């Protein structure tokens, strides 16, 4: 097995290569002056099980995955697996209004043209993988256990998800952190605004962690922490799988939280735990 690393996740790719004990295929990946991508493998991959690590967000990264996977096929790789640390368009996971695009499915349909298997990390809705034309050709792994281990070292007393839909994340993290969990009651009004329904929580004097799959604008976490502070929480940290931090999200969160952490599915200053372990386990399960 060999790893081909796209340009989205160099640090995670190195950890993954280490966890899998497999070499990284040297490649030249650069942009032409007009922004178009140039890719060249500097070593043969014929007959190899090739694992390509590349997120599909923002759009130019999706294009890179399409080009790399097709290149791997053209170069005669025996199998081509795509590890997609952050899957762009995952939240457009159904047709909400007539005439809209089901973009997560559109992405899968294109990605599976040259990928035999796709591994995602905390895909916004796991069921989206059922849209793949080959049943069982997608795996969703989770970093919530990694978040739980991290929270355990910080002496967190309780884990909360922002809404019922994300309670499974809170449960998974709380089991590892060995503490209770619950959910808040968020309703999204639009892309930029959310409201939290009042809910009495036993958080007075406690160190609380809010966990979610994605932090984007930070609006969800800002509202959640307001409610927890109002009810007397002594410390509030936020942990997510994917730290997108759009629209100044991180600048909004830093002053009101005791910590903001994300995994290396999107590399940046908030990375506090890695997705390499769960991804490596899934890769080993697929490539036998
Ligand atoms: C939505 O359902 C997700 O799980 C997150 O809660 C959401 O993406 C967070 O977005 P924001 O940070 O913009 O509130």
Pocket of ligand 1, beta carbon within 6 A: 162, 166, 194, 212-220, 249
The CA 274 to ligand 1 mean position distance, Å, reads 20
pLDDT of residue 193: 86
Active site residues: 186
> Residue 64 and residue 39: Cα distance in Å, rounded?
9
Query: What tens digit of pLDDT does each residue of 120-147 get?
Result: 999 999 999 999 999 999 999 999 999 9
Segment 228-252 shows an average pLDDT of: 97
pLDDT of residue 148: 98
Question: Which region, left, alpha or beta, applies to residue 247 given φ > 0 means left and ψ of -120 to 50 means alpha?
Answer: left
What is the per-residue pLDDT for 286?
Answer: 95
Cα–ligand 1 centroid distance for 177 (angstroms): 23
CA of 92 to the centre of ligand 1 (A): 12
pTM over 0.85: yes
Work out the average pLDDT over 235-254: 97
- Residues 45-65 have a mean pLDDT of 98
- Cα angle for residues 156, 157, 163 (degrees, 5° grid): 95
For the chain, give the mean pLDDT.
97
Residue 142: what pLDDT?
98
Mutate to test the pocket of ligand 1, among 93, 192, 214, 226 (most ligand atoms within 8 A of CB): 214
Is residue 104's pLDDT more than 90? yes
All domains of the chain in start order, with CATH: 2-142+275-286 (3.40.50.2020), 144-264 (3.40.50.2020)
């Amino acid at each position: 097995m060999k790893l081909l690393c796209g340009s989205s996740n160099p640090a995670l790719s190195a950890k993954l290569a280490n966890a899998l004990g497999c070499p990284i295929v040297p490649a030249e990946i650069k942009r032409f002056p007009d922004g178009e991508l140039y890719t060249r493998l500097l070593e043969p991959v014929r007959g190899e099980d090739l694992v390509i690590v590349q997120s599909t967000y923002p759009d130019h990264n999706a294009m890179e995955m399409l080009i790399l996977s097709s290149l791997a096929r053209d170069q005669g790789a025996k199998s081509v697996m795509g590890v997609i640390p952050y899957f762009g368009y995952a939240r457009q996971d159904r047709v909400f209004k007539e005439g809209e695009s089901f973009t997560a499915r559109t992405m899968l349909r294109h990605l599976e043209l040259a990928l035999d298997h796709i591994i995602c990390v905390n895909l916004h809705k796991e069921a989206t993988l059922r849209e793949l034309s080959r049943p069982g050709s997608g795996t969703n792994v989770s970093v919530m256990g990694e978040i739980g281990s991290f929270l355990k070292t910080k002496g967190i007393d309780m884990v909360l998800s922002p809404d019922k839909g994300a309670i499974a994340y809170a449960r998974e993290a709380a089991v590892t952190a060995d503490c209770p969990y619950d959910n808040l009651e968020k309703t999204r009004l639009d892309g930029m605004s959310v409201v939290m329904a009042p809910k009495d929580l036993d958080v007075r004097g406690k160190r609380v962690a809010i966990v979610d799959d994605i932090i984007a604008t930070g609006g969800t976490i800002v509202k959640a922490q307001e409610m927890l502070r109002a009810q007397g929480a002594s410390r509030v940290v936020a942990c997510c799988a994917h730290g997108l931090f759009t629209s100044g999200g991180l600048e909004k969160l830093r002053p009101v939280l005791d910590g903001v952490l994300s995994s290396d599915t999107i590399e940046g200053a908030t990375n506090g735990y890695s997705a390499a372990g769960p991804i490596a386990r899934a890769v080993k399960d697929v490539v036998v």
